[in-house]
Chains A and B, each alone.
Chain A
Amino acid sequence: MIKSTNRISRRLILRSGAAVIGLPFLEAMLRPGQSFAQADQVAQRFVSFYTPGGTLLEYWRPVGTETAWEFQKMLAPLTPFKAKINMIDALDMSVAIDADAGEGHHHCRGSAGVLTGHSLFGSFADGPSIDQLIADEIMKVHQSPFKSLEFATGWGTGIGNNAPHSSNMINMAGNDMPLAPATDPLSTFNRIFGDLQGDMAMGDQVAVSLQVLDSVARQYQSAAAQVGYADRVKLEQHLTLVTEARAKAEDIANTVCGAPKINMDPGFYEVRDATKDQILDYKGDPNKQSDMNVKSGDLVPTIGDVMTQLMVAALGCGLTNVASMQWGDSEAKFLLNFLKDEAGQPFKDHHHGYQHDRGFQAGSLEIIYNFYAQKFADVLGKLDAVQEANGATLLDNAAVLYVSELQKPDTHSRNDMPFILAGTAAGKMRSGRYIQVPGPRQPHNHLLLAICQLYGFQGTVVGNPKYCTSALSGLS
């Protein structure tokens, strides 16, 4: 059974009669008369946030000095959180640059390397991403039902076509072990919160569902005893996981949070037909092989917003302490028709089209990156709205790393990578700074290692050792 010290169980609540702490976003989630964890039980959190295709560095770079700086127009949506943000400028993603350090296309090597620091040889990155290293550290102190949760919207476009591919995987459990993100809001909701509300909405049904899992476990035990060796090994694997699922379910059922309210209409998130209608307006270049598997953008913002809501709720409730949100993938081939261009007309192409497929189009790209900045600000705002028992906000207790798989949208340069690191990792990190990494040039592995160290990581290497000779100094 997983013991969570990260929050208070219902039984504990009844005994302590703790007070309600709740700010607007999470208020709706809290069950009456219940509260979150006590001060010494608040966990550190880690969140990664991905958007495709790099940035426009000249607009990304703040104006000013380390402590006195301002965002330019493109990133203006982040202004309310400026005091909690570090802009980290001029690290190179060397592991995705050097010819002998990996293989595959720039987008793939960048995606594989940005959170892992590892090379891409074969199908996926050669080692785990830092969210998993950090989750290992956090789990030593604060166990949670889910070690980590990965969310996405507009994911699996282009060559990946809804399946894990080096062009779309950034979170890795280990060498060649991709952690594919959840893309369907309803099944994701049920997986995370189903045991909170009782899927059958019938009083004690959650209790019955836990009994069901007990019975399922018994039947696997009994079946395993009746079959040959090879089959038994597999049934025992299944049994182990049922036992884990049972513990997780009870843990979730005992969580003080209620489930967030999202649209549960089964048809609401079905993109399929929308794709067909929408694609008719698509005026891409018919001769480009790169236009395969272009998807509708219609529901990308809707699903992204719901996934953000689920992510913050899961973090706020302590159902997980590590999460990842991907807006798209490096193929970036969903239509951006939900955005308006400089002339006020709906965009007619996908992000990759403006990167280079139909020529580099800086004006359109600035609008796209501004949109992503809004979405990042939305995550930060929701995290910052959760007041935790140690007096800090969920954002303060977290480090939130904004990454892309490359820097320059048209040339695919992976020098001068644009990293944004928000929060304080529960007071472990100074923020509000524009950090211009001083020369000589450093690989981004140094940043990854420094972030891991904020969580007590004792290792000296993250990713490919060739590119990790020290940790980036000055974060804490």
Chain B
Amino acid sequence: MTPPVYSTNRTCSRATPWLPLTLLGLLGALAGCAAEDPNQPSVVPPPTGTDPGPGPIGELPPPDTCDIPGSPLRRLSRFEYENTVEHLLGVTGNVSKPLEADASSKFANDSKAISFTLKGIDGYRAAAQAIAKQATPDDATSAVVAGCATLGAECGAPFIASFGERAFRRPVAEGERVDLQALFDAGFAAAGLTGGVRAVIEAALQYPYFLYRLEASPADAASVRPSSWEMASRLSYLLWGSMPDATLFEAARQDQLQTPAQILGQANRMLEDPKARRQVAFFHARKYDYAKVESFERNPVAYPTWIPGMATQFRQESDNFVAHVALDINGKFGDLFTSKFTFLNDPLAEFYGLPKPGTGAVFQKVETDGVKRGGLLTQGSVLMATTPGGRSNPVVRGHFATQDIFCQTVPEPPAGLVVTPPEITPGVGVRQRLNEHAKDPGCASCHILMDPVGFAFEHYDGVGLWRELENDLPIDDKGNIANGDAQGEFDGVMGLQQKAATSKDAARCYVQGWATYALGRELETADTCTQDRLGAAFEASGGNIKQLMLDLTQTNAFLMRKAEAAPQ
């Protein structure tokens, strides 16, 4: 016998009526910051014409006066921790493994959801010890790390000053210097230079100014401009997901990270740095929910051509693609969906059944036909990440598109609903199998948001390969979007991508993602002003991604800090 397969998530609600508003729309309807606050500017109206093209990169936008709901303390996410350790010490390789899991938020950086557990503290300590050891395999390497020609105790003080400044992202305070010197001496006494250097690294990587992004707060609840040192970190973690580089540190030392123009100048420079590519790749993989794909495996019976490890290649394809669109070609939001190129290496091209670029394992930009391939939604990463089981799943794919591309809310299914997936029988296509969703009014109210969008993906199987038949039947990949400005019918994934590329809802959903990531917390009603401002500028630029990243550095929320007052 076969007991029902359970699903407590992706099922339909009988209780909650569908809310026909996007989060943005809802916030906008509720807030309207211009109307409520006479100090706020009115929302810049969207341009009436079509694509105005990108403005010159680096132009200063008008000053932002949006209110900031708060600037809660941020701690390095695992992604940021790994990047920072790499750029601080050159140590790589899953160094964040001992750390507790990140806050379970969209971008793993929700500052309001950071947890405090003994296991987590143990994790920071274990990671610091392992990294210290890895950075200093022997005395000769320790001398290089310490920047010292000798192996003597005199190496300690200059090492502490220079390493400490980079680790804490500001000059070492006297209390820290004294402590670190004592630790260096103790380590040196036990095991020479290596012992001393390790003790300093082990401590520094657990210090508050390393793990947290601490910023001085005013006594009252007013906004203040962060110091140049603090701004260096704001910039580097926003655009690189890592610590500042030497140029930023120098600018901080000269106190030249104060005016919006100074900050914009650095941001422009930083987007040219390869470190920005990693950040852009991380953002999109979380935004469009394919970061998880690398942990997926596939059943070779269902997918005879599947090659274990191919999911890593999928991820690299998409990483290269989004970084290229955003950073190399001054691309627009719509280009994420309508570009007729992708990045392939020989194994991935062979897997897709496309001509090999002849570059071996190296990814190479290649033209695509714009029919079967072209755009993020035709890449293996998205197609596989939206297929949790052994068979393509229009419900999951529709849910993905509705929620992650258009930011429409799909209500949670009724608690405890146990769903038996339909049996696969010959001659019955996927639309027929899922017909129960349409017949039962309790299911239909939600599934009409998902299934008709998901059917459009049916030409792609669970590992992203194009197919002509599903369960031996021809595929009907017509889709339909139920609500929002992209409402209406479309043909296949290419049709869906056309809709996404031109939808204001989708563009605002994308801006909402960046704003959430940049602020490191869930957006609140009071953030509507910032979002609207970013959204209007994004629209005015024709959806220029690089410009959006620059604009993020020019918001009040980024340029200023608001302290949280003590409770009364």
Contact = CB atoms under 8 A, between A and B. Distances in A.
Among A107, A205, A216, A224, chain B packs the most CB atoms within 10 A around the CB of A216
B28 to A, nearest CB: 28
B98 interface: yes
A199 B564 contact: no
Contacts of B389: 288-292
Contacts of B189: 204
A242 B297 CA distance: 39
B73 A234 contact: yes
A357 interface: yes
Contacts of A275: 297, 308
Contacts of B125: 213, 245
A359 B560 CA distance: 63
Contacts, number: 220
A292 B390 contact: yes
B207 interface: yes
Given A212-B199, A228-B563, A241 B118 contact: yes
Contacts of B206: 212-213, 216, 242
Contacts of B564: 228-231
A235 B74 CA distance: 11
A280 B217 CA distance: 57
Nearest to A182: B119
A356 interface: yes
B217 A212 contact: no
Nearest to B200: A212
Interface string B410-423: 00000110100100
B207 A219 contact: yes
B301 interface: yes
B216 A104 contact: no
Contacts of B216: 226-227
Given A187-B98, A202-B190, A290-B5, A279 B308 contact: yes
Contact of B133 (A199, A223, A284): A199
Interface string A178-210: 000000100100110010000110111101110
B198 to A, nearest CB: 6
B192 to A, nearest CB: 9
Given A187-B126, A200-B191, A202-B190, A289 B6 contact: no
Contact of B2 (A108, A203, A235, A357): A357
Contacts of A199: 129-130, 133
B157 interface: no
B18 interface: no
Contact of A105 (B6, B132, B217, B390): B6
Interface in B273-317: 295-303, 308-309
Contacts of A282: 299-301
Interface string B164-185: 0000000001011001101100
Interface in A155-187: 159, 161-163, 166, 184, 187
Interface residues of A, number: 77
A204 B183 CA distance: 12
Nearest to A241: B121
Contacts of B567: 229
Contacts of B126: 187, 190-191, 194
Contacts of A202: 190-191, 195
Contacts of B129: 190, 194, 199-200, 209
A65 interface: no
Nearest to B190: A204
A200 B132 CA distance: 9
Interface string A136-161: 00000000000000000000000101
A293 B3 contact: no
Contact of A286 (B186, B295, B301): B301
Q: Is the interface of A mostly helix, strand, loop or mixed?
A: helix
B97 A187 contact: yes
Nearest to B119: A191
A66 interface: no
B526 interface: no
In which size bucket is the chain B interface? 35 or more
A287 B424 contact: yes
Contacts of A190: 98, 126, 129-130
Interface string A93-123: 0000000000111111000000000000110
A190 B128 CA distance: 12
A200 B198 contact: yes
A241 B391 contact: no
B202 interface: yes
A279 B297 contact: yes
A134 B195 CA distance: 42
B122 interface: yes
A209 B8 contact: no
B1 interface: yes
A279 to B, nearest CB: 5
A276 interface: yes
Interface string B1-14: 11111101000000
Nearest to A190: B126
A342 interface: no
A372 to B, nearest CB: 21
A219 B295 contact: no
Contact of B390 (A227, A248, A289, A411): A289
Contacts of B303: 286
B186 A216 contact: no
A441 interface: no
A237 interface: yes
B388 interface: yes
A56 to B, nearest CB: 16
A220 interface: yes
Interface string A389-419: 0000000000000000000001110000000
Contacts of B8: 103-105, 108, 166
B520 to A, nearest CB: 13
B116 A218 contact: no
Nearest to B70: A230
Contacts of B566: 229
B265 interface: no
Given A245-B118, A286-B302, A356-B2, A219 B202 contact: no
B411 to A, nearest CB: 16
A212 B416 CA distance: 49
Contacts of A279: 297-300, 308
Interface in A239-284: 241-242, 244-245, 248, 275-277, 279-280, 282-284
Given A161-B295, A223-B208, 9 more contacts: A190-B126, A199-B130, A211-B186, A231-B212, A280-B300, A286-B301, A289-B389, A289-B421, A290-B389
5 contacts: A219-B208, A220-B208, A228-B217, A241-B121, A279-B299
Of all A-B residue pairs in the complex, the 3 with the closest CB atoms, nearest first, are A286-B302, A228-B217, A103-B416
Interface of B: 1-6, 8, 70, 72-73, 97-98, 101, 114, 116-122, 125-126, 129-130, 132-133, 173, 175-176, 179-180, 182-183, 186-187, 189-191, 195, 198-199, 202-203, 206-209, 212, 214-218, 295-303, 308-309, 388-391, 393, 415-416, 418, 421, 424, 563-567
